[in-house]
Amino acid sequence: MGLLYNIDQTMLPFFYGGKNLFLDSWSLLLTNPFTWIPLYILLFYLIVKNNEKIFQLILILLFLIVCLAFSDGLPDGIIKPYFCRLRPIYDPSFSQWVKPVQNYMPQGFSFFSAHAANTMAVAVFLSLLVRKRTFSLMLLSWSFLNGWSRLYLGVHFFCDVIIGFLWGVFAGAFSYLIYIWIYSKVSQPNRYISSQYTKTGFNHSDIQIVMNVYLYIILTTIIVACYNVFNY
């Protein structure tokens, strides 16, 4: 952990905030899971609507759950209790200048970030499933925004988030590969050659709906953050 500590000591000042009212409010909105409920609902809708085979639908949802359990279970159930690394806002080495942003003080240990791991795992799994570049970029930006918010709020160190991302990539890719291996054993994967669908059978119009909702969420959080600044 010594090398990680040195890296984090160098990088923390570049990301930790707490001095900009707009970014304070915006980061709190981004890090709140309830902010993203419309996106979760639309992603579920996308999967259900574009998979007519019941077996395939159940298998996708099952391995998406496995993906989340895999990405979340290791950091929260094993790694964090083992290393017992304090969050920056609780670490005495940084307590002189790293203060809670608007009294946001989550419990638990810091290493590594489950927020980063979970969002990246979902982003990778669904990117491999859907196979549309702009959709993948949207999901990655969602994950990166969540990771940035954890750094800005001082509740994770830089390496916590980076390692969380790396674990999320592994969890998402591994879960998808197991899913596609099982599915290929019992059914021949469909290959779509149409401008209306991705090569894995997802309707471009349905994908665009999800992307639009994502943009609306981002815009809404910006508006709410501005409102909070003016009413501070």
- Amino acid letter, 89: I
Q: Mapping DSSP to helix (H, G, I), strand (E, B) and coil, where does residue 114 land?
A: helix
Number of domains in the chain: 1
Query: Given this model, what pLDDT does residue 188 score?
Result: 67
What is the distance between the alpha carbons of residues 86 and 143, in angstroms, rounded to a whole number? 23
Residue range of the domain that includes 191:
2-230
Spatial neighbors of 222 by CB under 8 A, at least 6 apart, are 26
What does the pLDDT read at residue 151?
A: 93
Q: b/e map of 121-151 (b: 16 or more CB within 10 Å)?
A: bbbbbbbbbbbbeebbebbbebbbbbbbbbb
At residue 112, the pLDDT reads 81
Give the Cα separation of 127 and 137 in Å (integer).
9
* pLDDT value of residue 194: 66
How many helices (H) does the chain have, and how many strands (E)?
9, 0
Q: What is the pLDDT of residue 16?
A: 82
Sites in the chain below the pLDDT cut of 50: none
**Rounded Cα–Cα distance for residues 104 and 115 (Å):** 15
The stretches of 108-157 forming alpha helices (DSSP H) are 114-130, 133-152
CB atoms within 10 A of CB 194: 10
Which pLDDT does position 191 carry in this prediction?
A: 62
The length of the chain in residues reads 232
Query: What was the pLDDT predicted at 2?
Result: 67
Token pair recorded at residue 73? 């279970």
Q: Is the model's pTM score more than 0.85?
A: yes
Task: Reply yes or no: is the peptide bond before residue 112 cis, omega within 30 of 0.
Answer: yes
